[in-house]
Amino acid sequence: MEFPFELRVCAWAEREWHRFAEHDAFFVARQLGLQRRRWDTVVVEADPTKLDARAAFGERALDSDLRFLVEHAPREWAYYRDCLPDPGYPWRYVREHIHRAAARDALEKRRNGNRIEIRRTNFYPEWVERVVAIENKPDLDASAARALADQMERDVALGLADEVWVATREAGERALLAEMPVEAGVLAFDDEMRADVAWRPTTLSPGEPGTHIESRADDGCEFDYRSPGWKRDRRYRIAERAYERGWRSYADTMRPDCRYFDLRAAEHDFVPYCHAKGREVTAAECSGSCGEFSPEPPAWRTKGWPIEGGPGQTVKRVLADQRRRRRPAAEKIKWEEDEK
């Protein structure tokens, strides 16, 4: 199944990506991307010092509206309409975002008469260095490889990621090498999830305009161009969500409170396992609508479990703690660029 393979690729990347990155400041997430395109695995590489500075804004993602504020908020108190550039939408919505940002301590606000003034609490740095996308396809034949190649060509043309890869089993390596665009890398995994680089990717150009292919037909295709600014905004959207979620957030959409749910050790980490089905399960299978679903007994939540909440809540906490350890401590770190 693709889901267990995807979790194994994420765990492998978390342990082994330092061999591909310039330094160890990186983290892994899954199922992120654009509205019509989601990547199975995403690796975000960051500047170590600036990643520490990003931690000052907390563990939760900063959406585009909040990033607009923290990137432009001044050092000293100023009326928000005087210090912020035109947002491209009515200013009353900016006021709402200011209140949200202040509630998260992302900036400070105060009233001066009828005016709302703001100032920044920390500098929001350009912390993202590279975004790497990995498509996970464990079982591929030539026909499936051709269908995947079309999507990979779109990824290459847009150039939103710095690199695009396809991860597969060794058996599918030949089909991929024959069909994939030469810019896409290929990772071939054996049965023990040891990876071999079958083809190295070309570094793309996220800082340059990209070609967004809308549709294709035999007589041509519809496309438009996306600016470097558009691409930067989307890259930071993905990076911020990756920073918050990591790849172990699958428990949030599964039912670890079921008596049959378990985590089992796999090659590089743990994967969800169902004792009722006797195998690993996907997020779609492990839900309240499953015919085998049976809530954990109330006694499990009060006896034999020193951590309040029972096994299901313990699973979520363990995964959340592992996710948190991949990020720098979310403490208040004052950091300024020399030229600011």
Q: What is the pLDDT of residues 54-92, one digit of tens each?
A: 999 999 999 999 999 999 999 999 999 999 999 999 999
Report which of residues 114 and 144 the model is more confident about.
Answer: 114
Which residue spans of the chain are classified as CATH 1.10.10?
63-120
User: Could you read off the pLDDT of 37-60 as tens digits, one per residue?
Assistant: 899 999 999 999 999 899 999 999
Joined together, the tokens standing for residue 305 give 């479990």
pLDDT of residue 251: 80
Looking at residue 222, its pLDDT comes to 86
> Regarding the domain delimited by 63-120, which CATH topology (the fold level of the hierarchy) does it fall under?
Arc Repressor Mutant, subunit A (1.10.10)
What phi-psi label fits residue 246: left (phi over 0), alpha (psi between -120 and 50 degrees) or beta?
left
Paired sense of beta strands 38-46 and 26-33, if any: antiparallel
Pairing of strands 115-120, 107-112: antiparallel
Taking residue 233's Cβ as centre, other Cβ atoms within 10 Å add up to 14
**Could you read off the pLDDT of 221-233 as tens digits, one per residue?**
888 999 999 999 9
Residue 338 has pLDDT above 50, yes or no: no
Mean pLDDT, the chain, integer: 86
* Structure tokens belonging to residue 85: 């550039």
Q: Which residue has the higher pLDDT, 313 or 175?
A: 313
Element at 217 (helix H, strand E)? strand 210-217
Considering the entire predicted model, what is its pTM?
A: 0.86
